[in-house]
Structure 1
Amino acid sequence: MKYKIFFLAVILFGVQINAQQVYSKKEPFAHTFSIVARDTVTGEMGVAVQSHWFSVGNDVVWGKAGVGVVATQAFVNPSFGPRGLSLLENGLTPEMAVKSLLKLDDGRDVRQLAILDAKGNVFAYTGKNCIQAAGHIVGSNFSVQANLMEKNTVWPAMAKAFKTTKGSLAERLLAALEAAQSEGGDIRGKQSAAILVVRAKSTGNSWEDNVVDLRVEDSKNPIKEMRRLLTVHEAYEFMNKGDVAVEKNDNKLAKEYYMKAQELNPDNLEMKYWYAVTLANNGEMDEASKIFKAIFKINSNWKTLTPRLIKSKLLTVSPKDLEKILKL
């Protein structure tokens, strides 16, 4: 009897192996190109991806501050993300983590996986049955990987772009995606993209540990949209710094930050508004009035909001100057 049970287990196990070679809801079909990387100056770690698949970042992109980042793709095993990060937290190297995950995975031949840790150690794997063109390149503090590409020059172009691009880690990750698309990218086309950058060390507050977390779920040109979003993100980072400066009563510094935000996102009324508020608080009423007037003409709700700022001390002008603003 026990031999029959053993034989049945072997059959069931074989069926399971075959089942994992095809798309299922548990293992999303996300053929794609991606990059995992670490900034050697800041220590930040990031992962970026683009695919002709809806909401690709939901399954492919994983990261944790102070720990590492993971890209799991092709016939995706989403569990590789959290499990890979957990293995790193428990002291395994990226190579050990990748090999451990694949050893227990019957669908390893159709997987593609890359893991990078907080020290810049990185390891990548491309299953022998991943749809061509498929491959990866591991470099110093980064790895690029791709499958179902139009041609096999995609991931080398990504590696070159990452190594030669200057700027923040997010900028370099995006440059790698742009280079991949310029080489033809996914043979099916394009649809979604994601970029995640985490801090070198955890702050202890999970809501503060992501430096960049942007996703384009469905777009005719997701990388172009990601470029726009990254610019807006940078603008709002300057806005946040400006807000902190206001909290510290440093209106001069706040003005500088708000100005930089506007330069990156010139059509945003809210950025213009808070810049005008800062100018008014600095006593620069003439310049502030010009901006207020232009804003109020487009949307009068900003005028309605203005006197409400007095009580909270976000606007510190005299009653006379407030009256002038409200008459604009």
Structure 2
Amino acid sequence: MKKIFFFTALFVFAGNILLAQFFKKEEGLAHTFSIVARDAKTGEMAVGVQSHWFSVGTAVPWGEAGVGVVATQSFVNKSYGPKGLALIKSGKTAPEALQELLAQDEGREVRQVAMIDTNGNVNAHTGKNCIDYASQIVSKNFSVQSNMMLNNKVCPAMAKAFEASEGKPLAERILIALQAAQAVGGDIRGKQSAAILVVAGKSTGQIWIDRLIDLRVDDNDLPLVEMERLLKLFRAYEHMDKGDLATEKNDMKLAMEEYGAAMKMFPKNLEMQYWTAITLANNKKVKEAGIMLQKIYKQDANWRELTKRLPKVNLLTVSEMDLKELIK
């Protein structure tokens, strides 16, 4: 009995030493499903992921415009993200970068990683010690991968959904693929967080412009439902931005069309309503603006106070008489 106990303890001890070689507390766990993809028409590249783990978006997805995107998961080695992008930037293809990093990693058999570069070169790795069900499908301009899934249907469902959604914007296609994965079972533990990252195909050298979409749901019972809402909200604010640009060019017809499109998507959003009203006022449509503002004030009087402050910084350019009409 003592010998059995000794060898059992020795095995556990040795296993813990081995685990320590490829897993560090600061690296975290991300047993999950994800997709990396490229839009051949726009050149955009994206990563999408969902997991039963807090804030998966801070560990799995990495991307740089004009370079590529990376998904690193399972027993996460976060360095695959920045190091992989650096290798691609130095001239290696995504598959070459992945192989170089795997060759240097003693914990490669518990890693799951996928990379795609700006030319569409793509590859993935699923270590033999990733927890079942663990698999990957590498195809033209995308790769889907998953580990610790309820069943073996996740990757096929993701691949099929992504291919069938061709023609839609890349972020929406990513979301559709993630939703398909969840619909067939997803993570055996459930769901908690999700993320979608989209970067431009060509770099402008301005990160704040090149990172096109960066949405995260860190903790939610239905992370993909919340992600769908956030993505829709993002698109609505895109309409608001286009409306602002049209206003700057004095194209009021286009501005109101864009503002109207945004408000149609989120009719209860006071922010969208408010700045649409202010734009109307600045374009001498004070009566229409006043009607909108009065409805807003009834829901939240703070917007009236904000209106009073706008003339000081030239965001509201109306006469004193018109201002009184707008804040009554």
Task: Report the equivalent of 2:7.
Answer: none
Using a 3 Å threshold, how does the CA distance of structure 1 residues 316 and 44 change in structure 2: closer, same or farther? same
Q: CA deviation at 1:204?
A: 1.2
Q: Per-residue CA shift, 1:29-57, capped at 9, x if unaligned?
A: 11000000011111110001000011111
Between 1:16-25 and 1:265-274, the stretch displaced more is 16-25
Task: Report the equivalent of 2:296.
Answer: 295
Task: Report the equivalent of 1:135.
Answer: 135
* Distance in 1, Cα, partners of 2:88 & 2:161: 28
* Distance in 2, Cα, partners of 1:93 & 1:68: 9
Q: CA deviation at 1:272?
A: 0.2
Equivalence map 1:156-305=2 (5 Å) = 156-165=156-165, 166-305=167-306
* Distance in 2, Cα, partners of 1:216 & 1:296: 31
Q: Per-residue CA shift, 1:228-256, capped at 9, x if unaligned?
A: 11111111122222223333343333222
Task: Report the equivalent of 1:69.
Answer: 69
Q: CA deviation at 1:259?
A: 1.3
* Distance in 1, Cα, partners of 2:183 & 2:276: 38
TM-score, with structure 1 as normaliser: 0.91
Q: CA deviation at 1:20?
A: 4.4
* Distance in 1, Cα, partners of 2:15 & 2:91: 34
Q: CA deviation at 1:70?
A: 0.1
Q: Per-residue CA shift, 1:142-167, capped at 9, x if unaligned?
A: 00000100111101100111111242
Q: Per-residue CA shift, 1:164-207, capped at 9, x if unaligned?
A: 12421110000011000001000000011010000111121111
Q: Per-residue CA shift, 1:125-145, capped at 9, x if unaligned?
A: 111111111111111110000
Q: Secondary structure at the match of 2:55?
A: coil
- Identical pairs, percent: 58
* Distance in 1, Cα, partners of 2:131 & 2:69: 24
Task: Report the equivalent of 1:5.
Answer: none
* Distance in 1, Cα, partners of 2:229 & 2:17: 42
Q: CA deviation at 1:278?
A: 1.8
Using a 3 Å threshold, how does the CA distance of structure 1 residues 308 and 245 change in structure 2: closer, same or farther? farther
Equivalence map 1:99-114=2 (5 Å) = 99-114=99-114
Using a 3 Å threshold, how does the CA distance of structure 1 residues 135 and 49 change in structure 2: closer, same or farther? same
Structure 1 unpaired stretches of 5+: 1-13
Task: Report the equivalent of 2:155.
Answer: 155
* Distance in 2, Cα, partners of 1:249 & 1:25: 55
TM-score, with structure 2 as normaliser: 0.91
* Distance in 2, Cα, partners of 1:104 & 1:228: 41
**Which residue identity does 1:112 align to in structure 2?**
Q
Structure 2 unpaired stretches of 5+: 1-13
Task: Report the equivalent of 2:314.
Answer: 313
Q: Secondary structure at the match of 1:36?
A: strand
Q: CA deviation at 1:120?
A: 1.1
Task: Report the equivalent of 2:94.
Answer: 94
* Distance in 2, Cα, partners of 1:203 & 1:325: 42
* Distance in 2, Cα, partners of 1:326 & 1:77: 56
Using a 3 Å threshold, how does the CA distance of structure 1 residues 322 and 308 change in structure 2: closer, same or farther? same
**Which residue identity does 1:320 align to in structure 2?**
M
Between 1:315-324 and 1:47-56, the stretch displaced more is 315-324
Q: CA deviation at 1:98?
A: 1.0
